Amino acid sequence: MGRLSTDLCGIELDNPVIPASGTFGFGWEFAEWYDINCLGTFSFKGTTKDPRFGNPTPRIAECASGMINAVGLQNPGVEQVIREELPKLKQVFRKKVMANVSGFSVEDYAFTCERLDGEEQVGWLEVNISCPNVHGGGMSFGTEPVAAAEVTRAVKKVTHKPVIMKLSPNVTDIADIARACEDAGADGISLINTLQGMRIDLRTRKPVLKNVMGGVSGPAVFPVALRMVWQVCRAVQIPVVGMGGISTAEDVLEMMMAGAAACEVGAANLVDPCACRRIIEDLPAAMDKYGIKSISELRGGH
């Protein structure tokens, strides 16, 4: 393993930097900016059983040190992802990709995961039980341990590849949810998804977002994400992928010191399409500055 290498559920990554779902499309779009094979891997756009247009506009709002989105899982549906998106990705990306899956029922999750589990380029299934921007799905499964465990068991029953459950921070005790997923067979945990928030337009006196509320992301949420990753890493024995406001190499090191096996970078990609490449390039110097010989020594190094 190289100096930046890390292991995620038995698959070696060249480095721990992973663009987060919803901020990197299906990958091939960013290949126009740089060689995306420099990434550890990436999590592609949240995919559901059926195509989704998403929420009505406006669905993006600015806030201090971040942004709010209520996109609502816009995607072409799993069959088109398999038929069109993955073949285009294969032309520009030689590594395993993380498939992000959402659903509106336990059966939806199981169906979509089973279909993607059969795709050669898919290395991990990141099961999103934490999206705050849809009604009747997503986060409703991730705010209660029994429901989170039910989705986990259903997906594990029909798949062979590592299953990483993506958790919501909009809960009272995130460690309880993580333990329930681990007990139900999850191979890993990723967190945090966005925090719920809103903005009001002072001129119209109405909410900026048509959906009223959306998910807050960006540097403002990093301390909250770090705290929750720290808590979950002490509650479970399976690998944890940390995310939430990461935008620098130092943020990656801090998140891994909290116990994360790898880190996802989200909103930073929307500010700078080359953010992940920059973070990877900056990692060796940041490690030298703090006397870190290899990324692997940070795992559990609290």
The kind and range of the H/E element at 200 are strand 200-201
| Residue 131 is a catalytic residue | yes
Give exposure, 75-110, as e/b (b: 16+ Cβ within 10 Å): bbebeebbeebbeebeeebeebbbbbbbbbebebbb
How far are the Cα atoms of 23, 48, 154, 235 from residue 45, in angstroms, in the given order?
A: 7, 10, 22, 28
Sign of CA dihedral 110, 12, 252, 246: negative
Closest Cα to residue 75, out of 109, 41, 100, 107? 100
Q: Which of 131, 181, 263, 276 is catalytic?
A: 131
Closest Cα to residue 179, out of 244, 234, 225? 234
Active site residues: 131
